[in-house]
Amino acid sequence: MQSLIAAFAAVFFFALPAQAQDLNVSANDTLQSVLAAQKGKRVTLRLSGGQELTGVMREATAKLVVLGGLTGREFFDAAVLLEKVEAVLVRTKQ
């Protein structure tokens, strides 16, 4: 039983750093390219009205951003106009 707990703790410990990564941008990046780079990761979008949506980044096109598994609404996805996104927040530390 103790070896099972130790194995679980080791997996959990080593998995944490892999989840949090720095947000890197270059001079040629756009909001769409920054969002596309976060595909499959949990992000928070700050919208022009001040609202925030947190979910898993599914898709970023020239006009829309799709988030899945919204926090507080896990059974919902959201399609947001790219022009309404003011900021992308990415967790970089656990």
More confident residue, 11 or 83: 83
Owning domain of residue 82: 2-90
Q: Is residue 92's pLDDT more than 90? A: no
Amino acid in position 57: M
- Domain total of the chain: 1
Q: Which residues share a beta bridge with 43?
A: 55, 90
**pLDDT score, position 21:** 66
Contact yes or no for 32/60 (Cβ under 8 A): yes
Entry pTM: 0.73
Q: How far apart (Å, rounded) are the C-alpha atoms in residues 78 and 33?
A: 19
Q: Within 10 Å of residue 55's Cβ, how many Cβ atoms?
A: 23
Which of 33, 90, 92, 91 is closest to 65 using CA atoms? Answer: 33
CATH number, domain at 15? 2.30.30.100
Express each pLDDT in 4-38 by its tens digit: 344 444 444 444 444 556 777 778 889 999 999 99
- pLDDT cut 90: percent of the chain above it: 64
